[in-house]
Amino acid sequence: MNVAFIGLGIMGSRMAANLLQHGVELTVYNRSQAPARALGELGAKIAASARDAVDGADVVFTMLSNPDVVTELALSDEGFLAAMKQGALWVDCSTVNPSFSQQEETAARSHGVRFLDAPVAGSAPQAENAELAFFVGGDAADVKEAEELIGHMGSKLIHVGETGRGTSLKMLVNALLAQSMLVFAETLALGEKMGLSREFLLDTLPKLPVAAPFLKAKAEMIRAGDYSVQFPLELMHKDLHLAALTAYEHGQPLNLTNAAKELYAAARQEGLGREDFASIYQYMRGK
């Protein structure tokens, strides 16, 4: 089976490396060349363009930053979708909005290509260790075909239902993630202002039953003052924006998520966009 992987950022580069470790014959493409060269040293074939990457591929994985980039690289007149062979399978792991996933599926079908939306839960460490959870939408037979490859990159596959259901679940997960981090940051900042030491709070709050489990790791980032990016704040802001768009499409009020979106936007404006989203704490305490 010939496999292509397009989009080699923080997540995609690690996912592609795990495919190579399992002996997958892999062609890779990224708009910046350094990540592709690193994978070339591990045995990947480096394509000069996205269209070249998919030439002859049976399965194409994409892990791109937002719908605009997916549109440019896949759906545009110069995009790779028109170059995929008939009957091939496109698995998009990008975090996009559900209605966009449905547009992708329609475009794929018009070119005789099958499609799965398969965003992932997890950040850089989980991608490194092949411990990602994949939320997959699409035909069950196509999910079965992709299952082994997905298993090389993750520890869990949840087939949520038809096209767009995978991105729907991922949207809910990231809304919870963003707001949990924000509440923790705000609470921590208040505790410090009341005279409780940061060390005491970081030791205590994440261990309480009311705290989300992932906050233990984020507390250690705050303790060290090290916001080396695992999941960029700017992408969290993007995901909250997509949630707001989706809520508008469904006529659903989204009061708390929209408030969170504006706070992440403000933190991004303060220059924190390329830091890990745990850096929202810096914004909430006024740096």
Residues with a catalytic annotation lie at 170
Give me the residues paired with residue 158 across strands: 135
For residue 160, give the 3-state DSSP assignment: strand
Helices (H) and strands (E) in the chain, counts: 13, 9
Q: Is 1 exposed, middle or buried (0-12, 13-18, 19+ CB in 10 A)?
A: exposed
For residue 120, give the 3-state DSSP assignment: strand
Tell me if 133 sits within 8 A of 214, measured CB to CB: no
**Rounded CA separation 27/2 (Å):** 8
Q: Is 225 exposed, middle or buried (0-12, 13-18, 19+ CB in 10 A)?
A: exposed
Tell me if 4 sits within 8 A of 57, measured CB to CB: yes
77, 110, 118, 129, 188 from 101: Cα distances, Å: 18, 14, 10, 27, 37
Q: Is 85 exposed, middle or buried (0-12, 13-18, 19+ CB in 10 A)?
A: middle
